[in-house]
């Protein structure tokens, strides 16, 4: 593998794309050649790992790697799966018996086994796809370590765990917050599954104490997933039914009040519209109260989002977080329908041109700015 | 709900030991013999290579199941394309009986007639170029136009904007202009004409030569999450997926020549088209593939 990486580097170094690049880029190029060779030999290594060894910018490494693949027309195998990387990643944690006090110690094999199960669960519930691998690996190893001796280890934070395991400071890349977020997400999933354990009897499971249930959850992972999804589907269907029923009730009650108003109006002579019409809308002259009520009903209905418009993810318990936490963007209108050959009005064009006075003021302002 | 959540999609019928590997390992080798170098063909005309293989596998497995007494397997499942094909390469796994491999066989029949996705990608951006046919003094334009900015140290062009259609133009001293931001071809043309008119009003003999749409970008949402790891293994020749660099999968379709950015959330961005038909065609090509990698948890 070493000779493979060296020969790849020699080819890349003499390629026109890399001849006149900076020294930093050439160093990164060496790392990229190592990465490419490792991938070709199915040696699981993350780009972040090589990056941290080189102390280079992740963006630069990405750019150089893509340039390398393009320039030499390489066909690198896809990035290694998380489970492949896990074993070597776990061996980076100094948690073997003898290296740390017994209460913190864990054999690498046990840690790998438990972490692998958590990684598989995380992949199943969409916490892995499209994301950096190292933070999720760190989160899984941390939760796995806690779950192996929960009573003694639950109280230790992720930061403390990294100190105990003597991890380098840049172990998970630039952003320190990401592994914490992954831990929260993983615990959230474990809580959802833990709730379905028969002996929990539907009670709430706290993220801080879910480590005690991890072993049971992983043992019955598949059936708990099914149960959790079924319960969620039933809840959603129930909510939809209730929402539909309450909308129907609203329509009925407003129709009844309208009819009552009409009847009392006929008996008692003209009545101020405000007394009988829902405050949302006053009937205009010539418009019947029925029409006004229908309008206000529409307003009521429109304020609750119709079922068709709710996000499709609402019906799924487990979704990629980016699909679940959708920011509602302002709908941009596609613009007016044009042919491209319309007449262009002079007034519109002139609105984009400065007047002589504006030009004078602008020039004076620029002079003052340059003088200062 | 379209997704079938009644059973986990994989590994179906096999007890998964602790730490069982998820697909993505070398166990599940890429299946698609895209030696032809062609992208999946539009399903409107004929069965794609993919569907042909599925049909052949179905036939083979039906024969096997008949020999074993007609075991049907987990009905009602919608096994994933990646998954079903992976099984044929993993029958040697310990603990895999022919029964369990049959259980994992594709159960969803390949539709006889291709279905349109029913989703229309929306155009988000059109980039066009035009030649104004004369040399331009960018300083004069920047001075006399309200909607222009010019910083020669940063970029050697005037950046001009108009309100309707809401677009931006880069105007170069050679007289060439790039117009971006329009949502349709007609809007792009109208916008380019307006920019040319502004330059004319500023005293330059601007013409409107060789207007051409250079790039169109569209986007849509397939409304289901997508297993990018499976997709990159199955379509290695066309895909690039580096989650450490970019969260989406970059799919370079050859016919039509379109680049698709596919995200786990189901959002798809299509770019590189010269005409809008290419965007629609590319999406119709990719949609059945994406459905194959739609996975209920």
Each of the 372 residues of chain A gets a pLDDT tens digit; together they read 788 888 888 888 888 888 888 888 888 999 999 988 888 888 888 888 888 888 888 888 889 988 888 888 887 666 677 878 888 888 888 888 888 888 899 888 999 999 999 999 999 999 999 999 989 999 999 999 999 999 989 999 998 999 899 887 666 555 678 999 999 999 999 999 999 888 887 778 888 889 999 999 999 999 999 999 998 988 888 888 888 888 888 888 888 888 887 777 665 555 444 444 444 444 444 444 444 444 444 444 334 444 445 667 777 888 888 887 766 666 666 667 888 888 899 999 999 999 999 999 999 998 999 887
Measure A104 CA to nearest chain B CA, in Å.
22
Task: Provide, as residue numbers in chain B, all residues whose Cβ is less than 8 Å from the Cβ of A234.
Answer: none
Structure tokens at B179: 């117009």
The residues that bridge with B269 in the sheet, in sequence order, are B219, B261
A322 and B146 within 8 Å at the Cβ level: the answer is no
Element (H, E) at A69: helix A58-71
Closest Cβ–Cβ partner in B162, B184, B244 for A48: B244
Residue A167 confidence (pLDDT): 83
Closest Cβ–Cβ partner in A78, A316, A318 for B233: A78
Same fold, B128-213 and B222-293: yes
Measure B264 CA to nearest chain A CA, in Å.
6
The answer to whether the beta carbons of residues B261 and B252 sit under 8 Å apart is: no
Task: Provide, as residue numbers in chain B, all residues whose Cβ is less than 8 Å from the Cβ of A130.
Answer: 228, 243, 247-248, 263-264
Please tell us whether the domain made up of B128-213 is placed in CATH 3.30.310.10.
yes
Residue of A nearest to B16 (CA): A222
Query: Residue B127, class by beta-carbon neighbours within 10 Å (0-12 exposed, 13-18 middle, 19+ buried)?
Result: middle
B186 and A338 within 8 Å at the Cβ level: the answer is yes
- Phi/psi-derived region of residue A203, left when phi > 0, alpha when psi is between -120 and 50, beta in every other case: beta
A252-258: long-range contacts at Cβ-Cβ below 8 A with a sequence spacing of 24 or more?
Answer: A254/A278, A254/A293, A254/A296, A254/A297, A254/A300, A255/A293, A258/A289, A258/A290, A258/A293
Residue A329 confidence (pLDDT): 64
Residue B82 confidence (pLDDT): 38
- Phi/psi-derived region of residue A168, left when phi > 0, alpha when psi is between -120 and 50, beta in every other case: beta
Residue A353 confidence (pLDDT): 94
Looking at residues B84-96, what average pLDDT do you find? 39
Looking at residues B54-78, what average pLDDT do you find? 49
Confidence band for B196, pLDDT divided at 50, 70 and 90: very high
What ipTM did this prediction achieve? 0.79
Find the DSSP H helices in A125-220.
Answer: 133-148, 150-153, 158-164, 177-194, 214-219
Share the mean pLDDT of chain B: 74
Residue B217 confidence (pLDDT): 97
Residue A310 confidence (pLDDT): 63
Q: Percent of chain B at pLDDT above 90?
A: 56
Measure A286 CA to nearest chain B CA, in Å.
40
Closest Cβ–Cβ partner in B145, B244, B264 for A129: B264
Task: Provide, as residue numbers in chain A, all residues whose Cβ is less than 8 Å from the Cβ of B228.
Answer: 129-130
Sign, Cα dihedral of A112, A118, A122, A123? positive
Distance, CA of B238 to CA of A270 (rounded, Å): 76
A226 and B186 within 8 Å at the Cβ level: the answer is no
End-to-end CA distance of chain B: 13
Task: Output b/e per residue, A24-56; b: 16+ Cβ within 10 A.
Answer: ebeebbbbbbbbbbbbbeeebbbbbbbbbebeb
B190 and A338 within 8 Å at the Cβ level: the answer is yes
DSSP reduced 3-state for B130: strand
Interface test with A, best of B2, B11, B17, B18 (most A CBs within 10 A): B18
B56-61: long-range contacts at Cβ-Cβ below 8 A with a sequence spacing of 24 or more?
Answer: B57/B84, B57/B85, B57/B88, B57/B105, B57/B106, B58/B105, B58/B106, B58/B109, B58/B110, B61/B102, B61/B105, B61/B106
The residues that bridge with B133 in the sheet, in sequence order, are none
Task: Provide, as residue numbers in chain B, all residues whose Cβ is less than 8 Å from the Cβ of A56.
Answer: none
Taking alpha carbons only, the member of A83, A79, A111, A113 closest to residue A96 is A111
Distance, CA of B259 to CA of A191 (rounded, Å): 40
Task: Provide, as residue numbers in chain A, all residues whose Cβ is less than 8 Å from the Cβ of B184.
Answer: 334-335, 338
Task: Provide, as residue numbers in chain B, all residues whose Cβ is less than 8 Å from the Cβ of A48.
Answer: 244
Measure A152 CA to nearest chain B CA, in Å.
24
Task: Provide, as residue numbers in chain B, all residues whose Cβ is less than 8 Å from the Cβ of A83.
Answer: 19, 21-22, 24-25
CATH number, span B222-293: 3.30.310.10
Query: Residue A239, class by beta-carbon neighbours within 10 Å (0-12 exposed, 13-18 middle, 19+ buried)?
Result: exposed
Task: Provide, as residue numbers in chain B, all residues whose Cβ is less than 8 Å from the Cβ of A62.
Answer: 242, 244-246
A129 and B243 within 8 Å at the Cβ level: the answer is yes
Taking only residues 22 to 61 of chain A, the set having a beta carbon closer than 8 angstroms to any beta carbon of chain B reads 42, 46-48, 58
Residue A148 confidence (pLDDT): 93
The answer to whether the beta carbons of residues A54 and A18 sit under 8 Å apart is: no
A129 and B227 within 8 Å at the Cβ level: the answer is yes
Residue B47 confidence (pLDDT): 43
Q: What does the pLDDT look like over B24-45, one tens digit per residue?
A: 334 333 343 433 444 454 434 4
Taking only residues 235 to 294 of chain A, the set having a beta carbon closer than 8 angstroms to any beta carbon of chain B reads none
Domain boundaries in chain B? 128-213, 222-293
Distance, CA of A21 to CA of A9 (rounded, Å): 14
Residue A286 confidence (pLDDT): 44
Measure A305 CA to nearest chain B CA, in Å.
18
- What is the number of other CB atoms lying within 10 angstroms of the CB of residue A197? 17
Closest Cβ–Cβ partner in A75, A131, A352 for B162: A352
Angle at B194 between CA B192 and CA B200, to 5 degrees: 105
Kindly write down the DSSP assignment for every residue of A285-342, as one continuous string: TT--HHHHHHHHHHHHHHHSPPGGGS-GGGG-SS--HHHHS---PPPPP------S--
A-B C-beta contacts closer than 8 Å: 185
Closest Cβ–Cβ partner in B25, B246, B264 for A84: B25
């Amino acid at each position: 593998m070493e000779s493979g990486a060296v020969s790849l580097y020699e080819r890349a170094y003499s390629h026109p794309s890399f001849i006149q690049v900076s020294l930093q880029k050439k160093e990164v190029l060496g790392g990229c050649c190592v990465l490419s060779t490792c991938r070709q030999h199915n040696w699981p290594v993350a780009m972040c790992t090589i990056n941290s060894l080189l102390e280079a910018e992740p963006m630069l490494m990405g750019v150089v790697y893509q340039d390398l693949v393009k320039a030499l027309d390489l066909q690198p195998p896809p990035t290694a799966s998380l489970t492949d990387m896990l074993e070597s990643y776990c061996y980076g944690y100094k948690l073997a018996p003898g290296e740390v006090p017994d209460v913190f110690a864990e054999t690498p094999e046990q840690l790998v086994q438990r972490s692998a199960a958590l990684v598989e669960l995380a992949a199943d519930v969409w916490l892995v796809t499209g994301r950096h691998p190292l933070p999720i690996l760190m989160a899984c190893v941390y939760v796995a370590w806690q779950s192996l001796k929960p009573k003694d280890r639950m109280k230790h934070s992720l930061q403390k765990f990294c100190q105990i395991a003597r991890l380098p400071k840049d172990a998970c890349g630039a952003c320190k917050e990401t592994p914490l977020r992954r831990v929260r997400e993983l615990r959230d999933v474990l809580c959802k599954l833990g709730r379905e354990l028969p002996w929990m009897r539907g009670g709430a499971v706290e993220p801080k104490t879910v480590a005690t249930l991890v072993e049971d959850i992983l043992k019955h992972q598949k059936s708990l997933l099914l149960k959790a999804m079924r319960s969620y589907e039933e809840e959603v269907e129930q909510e939809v039914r209730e929402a539909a029923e309450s909308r129907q009730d609203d329509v009925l009650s407003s129709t009844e009040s309208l009819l009552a108003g009409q009847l009392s109006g006929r008996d008692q002579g003209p009545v101020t519209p405000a007394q009988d019409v829902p405050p949302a809308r006053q009937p205009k002259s010539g418009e019947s109260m029925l029409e006004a009520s229908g309008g206000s009903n529409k307003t009521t209905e429109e304020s609750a989002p119709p079922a068709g418009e709710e996000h499709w993810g609402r019906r799924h318990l487990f979704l990629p977080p980016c699909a679940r936490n959708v920011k509602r963007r302002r709908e941009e209108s596609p613009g007016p329908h044009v042919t491209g050959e319309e007449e262009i009005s002079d007034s519109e064009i002139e609105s984009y041109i400065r007047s002589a006075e504006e030009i004078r003021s602008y020039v004076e302002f620029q002079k003052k700015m340059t003088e200062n | 709900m379209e997704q079938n959540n009644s059973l986990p999609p994989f590994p179906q019928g096999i007890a998964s030991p602790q730490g069982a590997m998820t697909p993505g390992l070398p166990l599940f080798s890429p299946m698609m013999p895209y030696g032809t170098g062609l992208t999946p063909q539009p399903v409107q005309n004929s069965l794609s290579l993919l569907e042909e293989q599925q049909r052949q596998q179905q036939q083979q497995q039906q024969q096997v199941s008949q020999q074993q007494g007609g075991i049907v397997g987990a009905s009602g499942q919608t096994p994933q394309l990646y998954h079903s094909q992976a099984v044929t390469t993993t029958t040697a796994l310990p603990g895999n009986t022919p029964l369990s491999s049959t259980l994992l066989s594709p159960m969803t029949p390949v539709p006889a007639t291709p279905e349109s996705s029913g989703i229309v990608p929306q155009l988000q951006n059109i980039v066009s170029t035009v030649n104004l046919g004369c040399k331009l003094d960018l300083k004069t334009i920047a001075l006399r136009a309200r909607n222009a900015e010019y910083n020669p140290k940063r970029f050697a062009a005037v950046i001009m904007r108009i309100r309707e259609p809401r677009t931006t133009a880069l105007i170069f001293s050679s007289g060439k202009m790039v117009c971006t931001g329009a949502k349709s071809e007609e809007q792009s043309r109208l916008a380019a004409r307006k920019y040319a008119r502004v330059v004319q009003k500023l005293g330059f003999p601007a013409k409107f030569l060789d207007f051409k749409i250079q790039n169109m970008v569209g986007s849509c949402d397939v409304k289901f999450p997508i297993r990018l790891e499976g997709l990159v293994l199955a379509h290695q020749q066309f895909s690039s997926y580096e989650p450490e660099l970019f969260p989406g999968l970059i799919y370079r379709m050859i016919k039509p020549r379109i680049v698709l950015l596919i995200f786990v959330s189901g959002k798809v961005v299509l770019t590189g088209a010269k005409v809008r038909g290419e965007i629609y065609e590319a999406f119709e090509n990719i949609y059945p593939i994406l459905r194959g990698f739609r996975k209920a948890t």
